[in-house]
Amino acid sequence: MHAPVFSEAYADDAPRPHYRELVERLEKLGTEELERRSRLVESTFRTLGITFAVTGREEGLERTWPMDLVPRIIPAAEWATIEAGLKQRVRALNLFLEDLYVGPQAALAEGVAPRWLVESADGYLRQAQGIEAPEGARCVVAGIDLIRDSEGVYRVLEDNLRVPSGISYVLENRVAMTRALPTAFANHDVRPVNHYGAMLLTALRSIAPPASSDPTVVVLTPGIANSAYFEHAFLARQMGVELVEGRDLVVEDHVLYMRTTRGLHRVDVVYSRVGDEFLDPVVFRADSLLGVPGLLTAYRAKNLTIANAVGNGAADDKAVYAYVPDMIRFFLAEEPILPNVTTYLPWNPQDMTLILDRLDELVVKPVAEAGGYGIVIGADADRQTLDRLRRTLLDNPRGYIAQETIQLSTHLSFVDGKLAERHIDLRPFVLTGSQMEVVPGGLTRVALPEGSLIVNSSQGGGSKDTWVLEV
Amino acid sequence: MLSRHAEDLYWTGRYIERAEDTARLLDVTYHGMLEWSDKDVPQAQRDLLEVLFLDETFDGDLSDTAAVTEFLVLDTDNPGSITAAVERARLNARGLRDRISSELWEAINTFYLDLRARDLRADIERQPYQVYRWVRNACQTVTGVAAETMPHDDGYRFLVMGRLLERAEMTCRLLDVRYHRLVDSGGAATAFNRWAALLKSVSAYEAYLKEYRAAVDPIKMLSFLLLSPNFPRSVRYCLRGTEEQLAELLEPDRLTDAQRLLGMVGAKVEYCDIDSLVNADLGGFLDELQRDISQVGVAIDRHFFHHATDLDLHFYISR
Amino acid sequence: MMRLEIRYLTTFEYPQQVRDSHNVLRACPTTDDFQALLSYTLTTDPAARVLSHIDYWGTRLDVFGIRHPHDRLSVIADSTVETYPRPAPEPDASTDPYRDDAYRTEHREYLADSPHTIAGSSLGDRARQLVGDRAQAVAAVEALIDEVRRLLAYEPGTTYVGMNLDEVVKQGSGVCQDFAHTLISMARSAGIPARYVSGYLYAADQSLGRPPEEAEIEVQTHAWAEVAIPGWGWWAVDPTNREPVGEHHVKIGHGRDYDDVAPLQGVYHGPANHRLGVSVRISREQMSEYQSQQ
């Protein structure tokens, strides 16, 4: 039997106060009407072409973005704590990265995180050493994944500091929701999210090189074949800026330009959705045409700003994640508002003993994978899998982490024609420019199969609109 | 606007025009051949391929009309085939979805999807006329939707320019390949049919008749297709149209290579002496015209698209 | 003390025009306990705006691009450097730390495989066998150097950048880069942290390493290695020749292997083939009259 699970909408079989009105409304509509509206949402998403690509499957396979009809509601006071916790965390992460790449590396010197561990993170880029980021804004867009444990405590599951995706779905979900449940939406005082484009543009312009008075911002995409191309185009449209590919850009005398029909046009800020190591073939020697030769040196010369900063992977490596609470204490002299999930590191001999001892109770994750790939949930694994895992851990202790199994909270959801509880998580988005802002809510992901803990859309996850209340 | 977008729009214009012209030529050739003897077939096919600039690409049997038709309609390895042209236009449009109207995207995408859904091979065998008319209509729909749903801004101008230049080249080649063949052909009735076919292949038959009242006179016809100021497929009309679009895209104070070349070729056409050309070297003149027009294309490419992608990226590392 | 003037010259010739070239040069001697850089100037033709910075490894990088079409590019880096004698390493330094977890973790960067030092197990087995249970670090390293010299003969033109190390060893010949990579690969297999050094050698014959008779010589860039001697520091060793690393070695920088300190690298748009000429001219500066009178 599993540990107790926290239900978001219900306590002791009665709706929690902030869910009372919504539950009443859903009951009043009835399942037949909910089913009708559910199909309406799906067909709208299909016509608008709001899809995601399923990776690891047949190439080019696209699915319509699945949105669950029941929104998640977060009361204002609860959100205030989350928001403060997110800002605190991202502030510390920015300071850590700044210290690492252009600072005295005080955190490494003081042993906040082991130097060798940070330097051996895949995303730590020696080529980015010494490159300054205006305003120290390195995690311009951060996606911090939160889960809620059986006590209802919000915990950070992982940090996404490179190219976190999903914000376009947050906005599209909201649009769809206001159409699908207009009365319920109108009866709640929900904080808006649709100004995200303006928020992002403001943040990006605020970190332009000092010399540019009216900075030109572009969104850099790997191209139409990329699984998140829809979001790249969406963001460019929302900000009213060009969506460019590497071949549209050229560097001359360490200044970046885009090729236009009226000549070369200077670019000041690149919001990059291209992986760091593809950005500049000169520096990374990547045999790839996605990037722009000379881009990194132009960035180093402070003739342009790249967001997110290059090399952020040093801080969102899953083994480095374990040290973020200590980073908060070190850089901010504060206690973390949002705790981590208890994490053990196999490279540490004491942790290794404990992990091997409790392998069938813990969750083991590779440090550099995303999208839920490579995760082993000990309690669900057979003997053979665990034996194999044991050997893998001993062979490559730096490559994995182990965490206590957390029963994600559940939320009322409309699945297969009826209302039922399903596990959820939350990815809020934090913007850092000259100021810091958190998008109210974020992307709530829901594991659609009953009992499943895997919320990733690539593995059968859906999503919910997330309502943060004004009061 | 981004050079890449302009270039993609320009080529979308060219591809759609190409598909339309090919369909029209095939239609006319097919129906013409019904009236001709078998021995004329290979020559007619060769002419057709030559007009489309594909006579050196096709390596099949010229007397096999089905093979030639397949090559021109279905063969995706032939970049000049209707299917390939529509596929490329659609690929471009897909990357331009944020730049073009959703109606234009839908028109091109629907064209492509319908093309894929049809059993073209069977359809051509059964009722070629309908297939060719369908392609023509679909192309004209795309053109019309673009004109009616897109702002007539820089992007639209590139689309139009691509179409006009493709068309100008096509009309030149058509005249070049067909004219002498027709002048040499025998009896009056045959000649009439063939002249009519030539006019039909650029949709000029009715317009010509209105202008010249059924008098099929090679010189009149030639001057109509070269010089008519208001027939949209005449070379002069296409060149003037391109000139107008270019002027809107460029600063007025400085003449670019593209404009200079276009002005020169335009003058060459407008001031040519058709009567003496017919008796002298018409073929040479038309060849020169084609070369000039393709130079205009090169100059446009160089001025607006200035991509580095025409040169490969190489890595080096010294020891 | 020795004062050397070094001219590093690279010339590219392309069969057709190229454009949009971007280049990274690592030719500037570093300053450390054993050498001091007195002057450095860089000239390119066509002229370019050069941006310089010190990288993660402490090496100076000169980065420049040329966008407009060109069919020739020359890069000249002139430096003046003073070199000083180097002390011999502590012969009794112990090999124990090589087996210590904390020491290994601290030196992880120079113990892990890097692209140019990956080799099959036989080279590593040989290294472990040679080091065996030797107690003295210096002696262990010397045993490895002897083995590299046994395995490889100095023969320019028999290898290329990126050639697999096993192939190099099987063939039995190579140049200084191959000697350095082989030694580094063996050292790391035996638990000895080792790093790659790029630089210049004031010697007419790179495989002999003796200072030349002539004042001015024409050579290539040189490469050697540094190995960690516990409790003492990085010991520079030159497996290509029998001379100890000293006043005639001028260091540019170090890294995990060749990739981290390649002298010149980059990209350009144009035809695949190009002619690349590299030369290094080193001359020993005559002492001034004033100095010789002293």
What pLDDT was estimated at residue A212?
84
Smallest CA–CA separation between B89 and chain C, in Å?
28
Q: By percentage, how much of chain B surpasses pLDDT 70? A: 94
Interchain CB distance below 8 Å, C267 and B312: no
User: DSSP state, B142?
Assistant: H
Reference A143, options A460, A441, A446, A447; nearest CA is A441
- Of B77, B76, B67, B86, the closest CA to residue B23 belongs to B86
Which residues of chain B are within 8 Å of residue A243 when distances are taken between CB atoms?
98
| Whether residue C46 has a cis bond before it, omega within 30° of 0 | yes
Per-residue tokens: B251: 């600063």
Q: Which residues of B touch C181 (CB under 8 A)?
A: none
- Mean pLDDT for chain A overall: 92
pLDDT of res. C290: 46
User: Averaged over B265-284, what is the pLDDT?
Assistant: 88
For A229-270, write each residue's pLDDT tens digit.
889 999 999 999 999 999 999 999 999 999 999 999 999 999
Q: Quick check: A248 contacting B, CB < 8 Å?
A: yes
| Structure-model confidence comparison of residues B16 and B53, the more confident one | B16
CB pairs under 8 A between B and C: 50
pLDDT score of C204: 81
The reply to whether C267 touches chain B by the CB within 8 Å rule is yes
Best mutation target, C25, C269, C276, C278, to test chain B (most B CBs within 10 A): C269
Half-sphere exposure of residue B112: CA atoms within 13 angstroms, side-chain side? 21
pLDDT at residue A292 in the model: 94
Helix, strand and coil percent figures for chain B, each rounded to 5: 75, 0, 25
- A461-468 vs A67-74, strand pairing mode: parallel
Does C150 reach chain A within 8 Å, measured CB to CB?
Answer: no
Q: Which chains touch B (3 or more CB pairs under 8 A)?
A: A, C
Under the banding of pLDDT at 50, 70 and 90, the label for residue B175 is: confident
CB contact under 8 A, A253 and C65: yes
Q: Which long-range contacts (CB under 8 A, 24 or more apart) does B32-36 make?
A: B32/B193, B32/B194, B32/B197, B33/B65, B35/B193
- Judged against a pLDDT cut of 60, whether residue B309 lies above it is answered with no
pLDDT digits (tens, 9 = 90+) for A331-374: 999 999 999 999 999 999 999 999 999 999 999 999 987 777 88
| pLDDT, tens digit (0-9, with 9 covering 90-100), for C154-166 | 999 899 888 999 9
Number of C-beta neighbours around residue B24 at 10 A? 21
Q: Which element (helix H / strand E) includes B111?
A: helix B102-117
Residue appearing with tokens 């045999």: A287
Q: Cα distance from A83 to chain C (closest Cα, Å)?
A: 36
Which of C108, C161, C261 best probes binding to A when mutated, by most A CB atoms within 10 angstroms?
Answer: C108
Residue A412's nearest CA partner among A41, A80, A46, A5 is A5
pLDDT of residue A43: 84
Report pLDDT for C293: 41
Nearest chain B Cα to C274, which residue? B316
Residue C292 binned pLDDT confidence (cut-offs 50, 70, 90):
very low
pLDDT of residue B186: 57
| pLDDT, position C205 | 80
> Is C88 in the B-facing interface, judged by CB distances under 8 Å?
no
Q: What does the pLDDT average to over B293-307?
A: 89
Nearest of A86, A332, A94 to residue A207 by alpha carbon: A94
CB A398 within 8 A of CB A410: no
Q: Please provide the size of chain C in residues.
A: 294
State phi, psi for A423 to the nearest 5 degrees: -70, 145
Predicted local confidence at residue B66, as pLDDT: 86
**What pairs with residue C18 in β-bridges?**
C70
Place of tokens 């009826």: A418
User: What mean pLDDT is predicted for residues B258-266?
Assistant: 94
Q: Give the per-residue pLDDT at B116.
A: 87
Distance of alpha carbon C10 from alpha carbon C245, whole angstroms = 26
**Structural element, H or E, at residue A186:** helix A182-186
Contacts of A289 in chain B (CB under 8 A): 313
The rounded distance, in Å, linking the Cα atoms of A164 and A235 is: 13
- In the predicted structure, residue C105 carries a pLDDT above the cut 70: yes
* A 196-225 residues inside an 8 A Cβ radius of B: 223-224
pLDDT at B247: 93
Residue C287: band (very low, low, confident or very high) from pLDDT cuts 50, 70, 90: low
Least confident among A299-313, A325-339, B124-138, C274-288: C274-288
Residue with the two structure tokens 């300190």:
C261
- Determine the residue of chain C that is closest to B308 in CA distance: C269
* pTM for the structure as a whole: 0.90
Query: Distance (Å, rounded) from C-alpha A449 to C-alpha A145?
Result: 20
CA B146 – CA B92 distance, rounded (Å): 14
Output B278 or C113, whichever has higher pLDDT. Answer: C113
pLDDT value at C289 more than 50: no
Cα Rg of chain C, angstroms: 20
Distance (Å, whole) CA B274 – CA B277: 5
Contact C161 B317 (CB under 8 A): yes
Mutate to test the interface with B, among A261, A264, A278, A289 (most CBs of B within 10 A): A261
With a cut of 70, list the residues of chain A below it in pLDDT. 1-3, 49, 52-62, 286, 458
Residue of B nearest to C265 (CA): B317
